[in-house]
Every structure is written in structure tokens, then in C-alpha cells.
Chain A
Amino acid sequence: MPKITFIEFDGTAHEVDVPAGGSVMEAAVSNNVPGIDADCGGACACATCHVFVNGAWMDKVGERGDMEQSMLDFAENVRPTSRLSCQIVLTDELDGLVVDMPEAQH
């Protein structure tokens, strides 16, 4: 069961254990972690599940997809470490993953 740490903008950390196979977004939403809206429910179509992947994990989470890049092109505050969390699928390799959340998704 990979463990993920979500860090809110104000520094509050939330650690959740989730089964592999779901997305980072789903892990947040199903554990009531504040700071992820996911308005489109995970369709890579709204850019409200935006997270910043902690530097050490960047090469483990994989690359942005085409549609994800298109959506990030219109999002706010995008950094090189930005990903849409609905597009990061959890595997055992991502056990210990840390992501930071932006100030607001909306």
C-alpha cells in the first residue's frame, strides 16, 4: 500500500495509505484531503487537481501526457514540477511520494 504525503499550502501535512492502481487525485479525494477540487472527476479536463511533485520524486512519477500539458497550459501558477494528480497512477515504486498543493484550485 503506497503511502503518500500531501502538503497543504499552509504547510499542514496529510499522510494517507492507499492501494496501488488509483490516481494521486483519488487518494486525496477519498481521504478528504483538502486542496484538491477534481471538478471533472479525473478526466484530465479541468486542471483543478493540480499538485507540485516534490523534487526527489519527479523522475519516478513519469511525464505529463499531451492532454495534461494542454490543460496545464491554461492553469495558474504552473511550475516545472506541476502535474495533474488525476494523471499520476500509484504504484509500489511511489511509496513515500510527497506532493505540495497550490494555494487554491479555484
Chain B
Amino acid sequence: MSQAAAIDQQRVTGTHDAEAWRDPWSLPLESLDPARAILFKENVHEEYFRRLRQEDPVHYTADSEFGAYWSITKYNDIVAVDSNHKVFSSHKNIVVGDAPDEFYSPMFIAQDPPIHDVQRRAAQPAVAPTQLADLEALIRQRVCTILDDLPVGEEFNWVDRVSIELTTQMLATLFDFPFEDRHLLPYWSDVATATPSTGRSDVTFEERNKVLQECLNYFGQLWHQRKNEPRKFDFISLLAHDPETKDMLDNPMEFLGNLILLIVGGNDTTRNSISGGVIQLNRAPEQWEKLKANPELVPNMVSEIIRYQTPLAHMRRTALEDIEFQGKQIKKGDRVVMWYISGNRDDEVIDEADKFKIDRENARRHVSFGFGIHRCMGNRVAEMQLRILWEEILNRFDAIEVVGEPERVLSNFVLGYTHLPVILHAK
């Protein structure tokens, strides 16, 4: 730990013990700051939320690198906040940290009605059930190609060869993005989400902005092409043709913001669920045996994977008025952070929430997609990719053996993996 961090540690926790942050039960309750990215990187966040759910479920952190914020840690409280968009606003920002004004990009996830509604409605047809039904055969074909290309009996990084590759191809299709340039999509997505607002003090907004300008330019060209062609069902064509959004390019930061939203939304979330499923089945071999014996459990397992992984740890709101919530006085302007990762471990609502159970009843009842008007628009796309992937894995492999510790992303927002070393065993 650096000296600055050690001093910070002492100030925040009242202890000189540089490792004290690893055990939230040893710290003063009021000092708990669950938004620190290191907690998620080191996988100690679950104990923070366990303590908070028990002792202070609506918890105020007075001092953090992001300023003061409330943590909402219980499932039912999260549902209540998420579905109360009239008091708990998504404007201007849905992560705990605020970006400087000059780098602000409006996006519809971070808007309230009416702007949210018109923009979401413009984009949504790209992921409508009829569209996805048409895509199922294409996705299966791609899954088969990706899986058939994998080495058997030899170590490789599942994240690169499968998780990133499959979701990138899906995203390219949703944007009708030139296939040979598709690697730009996860690149831009990762640059977009690695910011000081989610705990990455090693990057600057300036550097990020430079890269995202390239993203803007590239999509600007696609916009001009699609605008002059008949309307299709990819995101760019839909936005370029919808009367409510056809002039979005006049406001480049808003166009960029919505692009980032759609790229990120469809990108590392599904990516990390793909990786997460491999990890969980590896850790619970009896679940893997159960799956092989009962492949009809795949759809249920997909929901359980999404719950267990919780690809996005939190969503943040801002109080539009003073409100008393579970006995606490939330003030107008306060940051309110819903910890989805905590809601998904709330055993007052989810039976044995810490366990990964592929045949869990009510597996669909989880917080990972959020609730209310902002509920994930791409949820069916995620589920479909995961379902097809696991169906085809079961056709081919007897085991996906994890042969090293997965490396986690440093973020309080994205819960995921950069490296997952595996060896495949054929059927």
C-alpha cells in the first residue's frame, strides 16, 4: 500500500493496520466505505455488505473518495429505491463518483422521464423479442465456431477466447458494426468504464476523452451512412431514423453518451457472466455434474449465474427531495447507491443466497437487471447468449477446468475478470 493510501487508511478507519480494510467486522461501523474499488478487486466486499445488511442496512458514508453517499444494501429496499424514480433520480449520473462537467456525456440511463423514455423507446426495437428470435441461429453458429476453435488439453484465457469474443460479436451485430473492426467495441467499452468515478485513479478523464473522441468519429460516419439508407433494426439506424432522436448528432456528447451506454450495456456485463458461470461451476463440481445429467436446467442456471455474478455491483441515484427512508433522513441532493451485489446476497429474500444453485427456485428473482423504468433493456440478449453458449458447451466438453486464480477487474461498478486460465477436457 502506498504512503498516501496508508494515511488515508488511518484517517478513514482510525487504525494504523494497513490491512484492516480486509476485515470490516474489525472496523468502526460508521467508517465503512463499501465503494472502494480495492474491496471488489480483492473479493472482500461481500463481508462489508453482510455486516451492513445486519447492522446498518441504510448506511451513510460521510467521507470517501467520491464524497458522502448512502448505501442501500437490502433487496427490498433496493426494489423500493429503484422503482421510485420520482424521488430517486438517475440524472446526471448512475455511478457513485461524479465526473467533471467538461467530460459529462448525457445518456438515457442517466436521465429521468421524459428524456429517458423517448430515447429508450427509440433504441429498444433493436432488442425486441422478434429481432432476437431472428438472431438465435446466427448466435448459435458463432458460438459453435468459437468453441470449435478452442484448444483442448492446453491452457488458455477463457476471458479473451470466449467471454470477450462472443459478446463482441453480439455487440457488432446489434450495431451492424464492421465485423473486422469489432475489437474496437470492447476497447472503447473498457476505456469508458475505467475512470476515477469507479475507483481507477490511474487513468485521467483527459486520456479517456481522447479515445472516446475516436469512438465518436467512427460512429458519426456510420450515422451519416445509415441516415441516408432505409431504416433497419440496428441501434444506429434506429436512432438516426426515430423522430425523437434523429438530430442527436448535433449534440455530440449526448450521441457519445448513448453510444457508450449501449456498448457498455451489452459488453462487459455479459462477458463477466460468461466467465462467472465457468468459475462457479468449477467451484461447485456437484452443480456441474447435475447440469450434465440435467441439461434442461440451462435456462434456470442462466438466471442463477446472472444473480451470482451480479455484473454491475451498483447503480446510483440522487435524491430530488428530503425523504425519510427506513428511519434514516436522506437529504435532497444526497447520493444514494443501490448495491445490487448486496441485494443478491440478501438471505431474507433469497434462500441460502451465498450458494450457487443451478436448480434454485425463483432463480429469476434477482436484482442484477435492476427494477423500474431503467430495468435492463438487453436482459433477453444476455440470457440468450448464455443459454446458447452453455447448450453448446454441454455438447462438446466434459469439463472446463480452472487452473489458476481468476484476476478481477479493479472497479466498484463492473464485477468481472480480466484473466481466467482454463484447460478444456473433451467429452
A residues near B (Cβ < 8 Å) are 37-41, 43-48, 67, 70-71, 73-74, 76, 103-104, 106
Contacts and interface: CB of A to CB of B under 8 A. Distances in A.
B364 to A, nearest CB: 5
Nearest to A77: B129
A80 B324 CA distance: 37
Contacts, number: 50
Nearest to A71: B373
Given A74-B120, A74-B121, A40 B79 contact: yes
Contact of A41 (B117, B365, B375, B379): B365
B79 A45 contact: yes
Contact of A45 (B83, B364, B377, B383): B83
Given A73-B121, A74-B120, A45 B365 contact: no
B82 A39 contact: no
Interface string B108-135: 0000010001001100100011000000
Contacts of B369: 39
B83 A73 contact: no
Interface residues of B, number: 23
A106 B383 contact: yes
Given A45-B82, A104-B129, A74 B371 contact: no
B151 interface: no
A70 B375 CA distance: 12
Contacts of B128: 76
Nearest to A48: B364
B67 interface: no
11 contacts: A40-B83, A41-B365, A43-B371, A45-B82, A45-B83, A45-B375, A46-B375, A48-B364, A73-B117, A74-B117, A74-B121
A67 B129 contact: no
Given A43-B83, A47-B375, A74-B375, 6 more contacts: A39-B369, A41-B79, A45-B82, A46-B371, A73-B117, A106-B364
Contacts of A39: 364-366, 369
Given A45-B372, A73-B121, A74-B124, A67 B364 contact: no
Interface of B: 79-80, 82-83, 113, 117, 120-121, 124, 128-129, 364-366, 369, 371-373, 375, 377, 379-380, 383
B30 to A, nearest CB: 31
Contacts of B380: 106
Nearest to B384: A106
A101 B128 CA distance: 18
Contacts of A71: 372-373
B323 to A, nearest CB: 17
Given A45-B371, A67-B83, A76-B128, A106 B365 contact: no
Contacts of A48: 364
A26 to B, nearest CB: 13
A37 B303 CA distance: 12
A44 B375 CA distance: 12
Nearest to A29: B362
A44 B377 CA distance: 16
A39 B75 CA distance: 13
Q: Considering the complex of A and B, which 3 residue pairs feature the smallest CB-CB distances, nearest first?
A: A45-B371, A45-B83, A39-B364
A45 B83 CA distance: 6
Nearest to A104: B129
Contacts of A74: 117, 120-121, 124, 373, 375, 377
- Among B117, B124, B369, B373, max chain A CB count under 10 A is at B373
